[in-house]
């Protein structure tokens, strides 16, 4: 997984005021076999608490799968977990990091 370019524009799911361009990520299939092939690159298995979660990734709070986005995540973004059908919103955590919240 490598960052290839930056995302220039304003976009639909962005909720924060940060105007700086985002890093983009080229996603590849990491063998998560629980969703249709065409969606596999957007997910990977979580290897437990020691697993480093990249800036374009978030842990699904419901089923503990890692959801991946083609761009760096920011507060206000919406993500979908296709493994358990959950809609997730990225929120700013208390310690300055990003956290997830279910949207139902």
Residue 53 within binding range of Zn ion, rule CB under 5 A: no
Single residue of 30, 46, 53, 80 touching other proteins by CB under 8 A:
80
Residue 90 partner contact from other proteins, Zn ion, none using kind-dependent CB cut-offs of 5 to 8 Å: none
Identify which of residues 24 and 81 has a Cβ nearer to Zn ion in the complex.
81
Distance of CA 14 to the CA centre of its chain: 13
Residue 104 within binding range of other proteins, rule CB under 8 A: yes
Return the exposure string of 38-70: e unless at least 16 CB atoms fall within 10 Å of the residue's CB, then b. eebbbbbebeeeeeeebebbbbbeeeebbbbbe
Positive or negative: CA dihedral 56, 11, 26, 66: positive
Q: In the bound complex, what is the minimum distance in angstroms from residue 11's beta carbon to Zn ion?
A: 23
Residue 79 within binding range of other proteins, rule CB under 8 A: yes
Positive or negative: CA dihedral 18, 20, 89, 65: negative
Write out the residues near other proteins by the rule CB under 8 A.
12-13, 33-40, 42, 61-63, 65, 69-71, 77-87, 102, 104
């Amino acid at each position: 997984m490598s960052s290839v370019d930056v995302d220039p524009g304003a976009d639909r799911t962005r909720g924060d005021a940060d105007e700086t361009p985002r890093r983009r990520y080229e996603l590849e299939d990491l063998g998560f076999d629980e969703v249709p092939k065409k969606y596999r690159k957007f997910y990977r298995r979580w290897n437990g608490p020691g697993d480093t979660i990249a800036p374009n990734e978030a842990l699904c709070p419901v089923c503990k799968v890692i959801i991946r986005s083609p761009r760096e995540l920011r507060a206000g973004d919406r993500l979908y977990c296709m493994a358990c059908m959950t809609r997730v919103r990225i929120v700013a955590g208390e310690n300055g990091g990003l956290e997830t919240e279910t949207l139902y």
